[in-house]
Amino acid sequence: MERLITGIKNLDYILGGGIPAYSLNIISGSPGSGKTIFVQNIIFNNARNGLKSLYLTTISESQLKMVRHLQDFEFFSDDLLGDRVIYGDLGAVLRRQGASEGLDYLTRMIKEHLPNIVVIDSVKVIRDLFPDEKTFRAFVFELAAVLSIWEITAFLVGEYEEQELTRLSEFAIADGIFHLYGQEEKRFQKRYMRVLKMRGTSFQHGEHLFQIGPVGIEVYPRMRPEGEELRYDVKLGRKEFGICGLDEMLCGGLLEGTITLISGATGTGKTMFALKFLLEGAEKGEKGVFLSFEEPVDQLQNTARCLGWEIDKYLAEGQLEIKFISPVELDVDKHAFEILDMIGEKKVERFVIDSISSFESSVTDIQKYRDYLWAIGQQLRRRHVTTIFTVLNEDLFSPLVVSRAQLSLITDNIIILRYVEDNSSIRKVLGILKTRGSNHDNSLREYEISPEGINVLGRLAKADMLK
């Protein structure tokens, strides 16, 4: 199938390679949702590839005003105006001379310029020029007939609410429907896109985040497992922590390509265990990335130095990379996609997210939070990246609780860190709840974090220390 490549970041991936050529597509959404920029981005991208576009405005926005608003975007170029991007005013003809003359004007413009793409912005405004639904429906069907005669990919832009998409006549003629909308989620005002229909081709369903920035539109596809779930090559190699007692409990380390959850209360050392795992890999020439939502890079470096770890050396050599993202700025939809991009580009073998509790705090829907982690986990497994998620257990002396969000199902291995009371002192204990596909030591062992590093000690001396 011949396709129109949009050139918008990740949009062609969602569409399976682009929009089917010669199709008629409706771009719907409320005012300010980004419809016009979306289409303008497509036509200017295609203009650079030699395609010609005819952009017909109505009364919603003047051509000069539209061009003025586009000038700050990187996709815009004055050099393409009049040659590859041609503007016309269909609304004036419709208002003064009626629907029939409007269609004649459209036909004359197409014959004169022979465009590859035709845009009518806004078709909803044209609807308002007709006295009733019947006459507008007749116009819409004639419009579709005119556009179908020519080898043209068409876009009709309109200010529609989602409930209108199933009952208005113009949507019956559409081969493709894109719906753009915005909503407030916690501290973010976010924009989403859904492809509701794309006749003749498959596409990715669901809502996809998009942003409007200096480059134009950037789409972040909905996170989902690729291909068949739970099917990936199992590696039998192991990745050690470099913590002697812990690696013994794990029968030699974590199985390669698995997801491990380290759960513990504040101060139990989750971050240090995870960081040591990456440093051990760096010493063996394996590249690791530490994604921190809680401690800045300088703070992590300083803590590692205090434990005698050579973190500066591995950061300088590029074997270890620490990326800090403020939880205030965390947008899960965007960052989850960027994480996977970074993993692929840098050929990372060991990866840490510290902590996924920050993910949870930025998502309004707990099911969406679980879905994101599930999708990320699946893709990391497929790439054989051995991964650690840390999670905060808010109960300092809880029994062997992993997390409130029931995350144990998405992980292969679970290590818990917790406090225990012993007479008038507080001690630290670790245990391994599960290691999928491998044996492990079931005992609870004390550990200490000292200037010499992390030391796993003997078994818990007294069972009644767990309260």
DSSP for 203-255, written as a single string:
---SEEEEEEETTEEEEEPPP---SSTT--PPP--EE--S-HHHHHHTTSSEE
Phi and psi at 253, nearest 5°, equal: 125, -175
Strands 413-422 and 425-435: antiparallel
Give the pLDDT score at 60. Answer: 55
Low-confidence ranges of the chain (pLDDT < 50): 228
Q: Report the amino acid identity of residue 101.
A: E
Separation of alpha carbons 367 and 72, rounded Å: 39
**CA nearest 92: which of 110, 81, 105?**
105
Overall pTM surpassing 0.85 (yes/no): no
Structure tokens at 262: 């380290």
Separation of alpha carbons 366 and 354, rounded Å: 18
Structure tokens at 160: 């529609």
DSSP state of 2: -
Give the pLDDT score at 304. Answer: 94
CA atoms within 13 A on the CB side of 363: 20
First to last CA, the chain: 66
Contact 206, 194 (CB under 8 A): yes
Give the pLDDT score at 377. Answer: 86
Residue 277, C-beta contacts closer than 8 angstroms, at least 6 positions apart: 239, 241, 242, 254, 288, 350, 352, 388
> Which residue bears the tokens 């503007």?
87
Structure tokens at 346: 């840098």
C-alpha triplet 33, 200, 149: angle, nearest 5°: 85
Separation of alpha carbons 185 and 401, rounded Å: 29
Separation of alpha carbons 373 and 367, rounded Å: 10
Chain mean position to CA 148: 36
Asked whether the CA dihedral 37, 39, 43, 46 is positive or negative, the reply is positive
DSSP state of 25: E
Residue 25, C-beta contacts closer than 8 angstroms, at least 6 positions apart: 19, 153, 154, 155, 156, 174, 175, 176, 177, 178
Q: Is 295 left (phi over 0), alpha (psi -120 to 50) or beta?
A: beta
**CA nearest 24: which of 159, 141, 151, 174?**
174
Structure tokens at 338: 């960027």
Give the pLDDT score at 233. Answer: 66
Phi and psi at 42, nearest 5°, equal: -65, -45
Burial label for 365, CB within 10 Å (0-12, 13-18, 19+), is: exposed
Radius of gyration over alpha carbons of the chain, in Å?
28
DSSP state of 467: -
